[in-house]
């Protein structure tokens, strides 16, 4: 089943938009609750699709879940199952984050290999090699990974070949319950990793965050941690998406709940493109670039430009004067949004992990498809500035990372409607329904 979004574009966005709690940090914090026995409370996390998927995984393991509009209670007192079946992992790659906590606390886990966005291979070797260093026996079979540590985990020195975010999170959580000290070199330094570390420390873990080449150091306690009461950090990717929208159509757009230190690489590029940016204590005000100019970007681990904001910036660069070049170094095949942008009139040439964008004067409404979360976000912000109506199928992918997006966009002046629950093969009929609904609201 698919979902359709129809947007009437060609207008500025004006007003205030608020950023939700971080999906990526929230998923790791939910997995961290498995390290404790009792009720943990995670504040500030909205009930978006990926969070719901992780909640179902925790429930399958035996946790009791209560999710309100802005908080999540997870009671792990009576965990029973230590395996996660395919039907629960196929929609979210974050399911792999349960592997480390389950092995560390119970000595066993069987996780079906995760699904989620169709972006390259996203291997989990860093997770598995690190757990083996800590004494786990890990076996990958067709479609699943099993881990055993009947005598518990022990401290280790781990050198990650690539600074995997979820790999760092998994190993850091597992090391909290190990005996001895674990050092993780070349770890990811994303703010979501830091947020997880702060939560683990609040649960009783002893963690020293490395600076520069120094490792993350975890002093294992060889026993379960305490439940937490913790407020998740802001979703910096949602915030960045709104900042890019502001640079395209803000007149002005005020993004609230947005910390500028997490957006340094993006703000630098937006200013170079020509956007006016005014940084406040807990918000950023953006005015659109009147004559946007081309820039080059290369994605990389934090604090470099984030791969999760690459598709959205491509939408902006498609209307920038001159030729821009995007080099993607984090994920393979992460230019899925280019097909939709080209259908809207963009001039984009993709060659492997590099895209060359020749700016055009304007985009036009079209029928396009969202193939993954961030590609979908790219098409949404492109549709807002495009002339005419754009119909985006596959909008359910966007729900995985953006909570209440339709209402947020409507508050800043976007005319948008949505249709749910249609068969993929009935795309033309679905689109007509969505467009008719859009006109009926005009």
* Chain centre distance of CA 417: 24
Residue-wise DSSP of 296-340: EEEB-STTSB-GGGHHHHHHHHTTSBSEEEEE--SSSS--THHHH
Please tell me whether residue 64 adopts helix, strand or coil conformation. strand
Helix/strand/coil percentages in the chain, nearest 5? 40, 30, 35
Q: Residue 278: exposed, middle, or buried by beta-carbon count in 10 A (0-12, 13-18, 19+)?
A: exposed
CA–CA separation, 256 vs 268, rounded Å?
Answer: 19
Cβ–Cβ under 8 Å, residues 159 and 129 = no
CA–CA separation, 356 vs 350, rounded Å?
Answer: 6
Catalytic residue among 58, 117, 176, 258: 117
**What are phi and psi for residue 269, nearest 5 degrees?**
-70, -40
Q: Which of 25, 2, 3, 49 is nearest to 402 (CA)?
A: 49
137 classed as catalytic: no
Lookup: tokens for 372: 């993954």
What positions carry a catalytic annotation? 117
């Amino acid at each position: 089943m698919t979902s359709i979004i129809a947007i009437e574009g060609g207008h500025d966005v004006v007003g205030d938009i608020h950023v939700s709690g971080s999906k990526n940090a929230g998923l790791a914090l939910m997995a961290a609750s498995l390290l404790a026995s009792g009720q943990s409370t995670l504040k500030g996390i909205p009930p978006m699709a990926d969070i719901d998927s992780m909640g179902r995984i925790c429930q399958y393991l035996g946790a009791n879940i209560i999710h309100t509009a802005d908080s999540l209670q997870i009671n792990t007192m009576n965990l029973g199952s230590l395996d996660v079946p395919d039907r629960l992992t196929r929609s979210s790659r974050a399911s792999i984050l349960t592997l480390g906590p389950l092995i560390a606390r119970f000595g066993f886990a069987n996780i079906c290999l995760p699904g989620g966005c169709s972006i390259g291979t996203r291997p989990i070797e860093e997770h598995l090699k690190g757990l083996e260093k800590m004494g786990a026996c890990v076996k990958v079979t067709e479609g699943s990974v099993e881990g055993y540590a009947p005598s518990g985990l022990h401290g280790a020195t781990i050198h990650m070949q690539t600074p995997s975010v979820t790999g760092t999170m998994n190993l850091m959580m597992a090391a909290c319950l190990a005996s001895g000290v674990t050092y993780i070199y070349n770890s990811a330094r994303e703010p979501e990793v830091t947020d997880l570390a702060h939560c683990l420390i609040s649960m009783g873990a002893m963690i020293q965050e490395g600076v520069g080449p120094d490792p993350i150091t975890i002093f294992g306690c060889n026993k379960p941690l305490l439940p937490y009461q913790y407020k998740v950090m802001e979703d910096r990717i949602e915030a960045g998406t709104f900042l890019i929208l502001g640079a395209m159509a803000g007149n002005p757009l005020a993004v609230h709940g947005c910390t500028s230190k997490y957006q340094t690489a993006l703000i630098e590029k937006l200013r170079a493109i020509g956007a006016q940016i005014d940084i406040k204590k807990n918000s950023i005000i953006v005015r659109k670039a009147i004559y946007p100019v081309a820039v080059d970007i290369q994605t990389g681990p934090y604090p470099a430009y984030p791969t999760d904001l690459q598709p959205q910036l491509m939408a902006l660069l498609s209307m920038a004067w001159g030729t821009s070049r995007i080099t993607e170094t984090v994920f393979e095949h992460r230019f899925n949004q280019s097909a939709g942008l080209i259908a809207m009139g963009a001039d984009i040439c993709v060659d492997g992990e590099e895209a060359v964008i020749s700016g055009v004067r304007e985009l036009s409404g079209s029928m396009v498809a969202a193939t993954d979360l961030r590609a979908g976000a790219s098409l949404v912000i492109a549709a807002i500035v495009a002339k005419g109506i754009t119909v985006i199928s596959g909008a359910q992918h966007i729900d995985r990372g953006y909570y209440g997006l339709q209402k947020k966009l409507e508050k800043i002046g976007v005319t948008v409607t949505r249709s749910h629950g249609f068969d993929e093969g009935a795309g033309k009929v679905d689109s007509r329904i969505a467009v008719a609904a859009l006109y009926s609201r005009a």
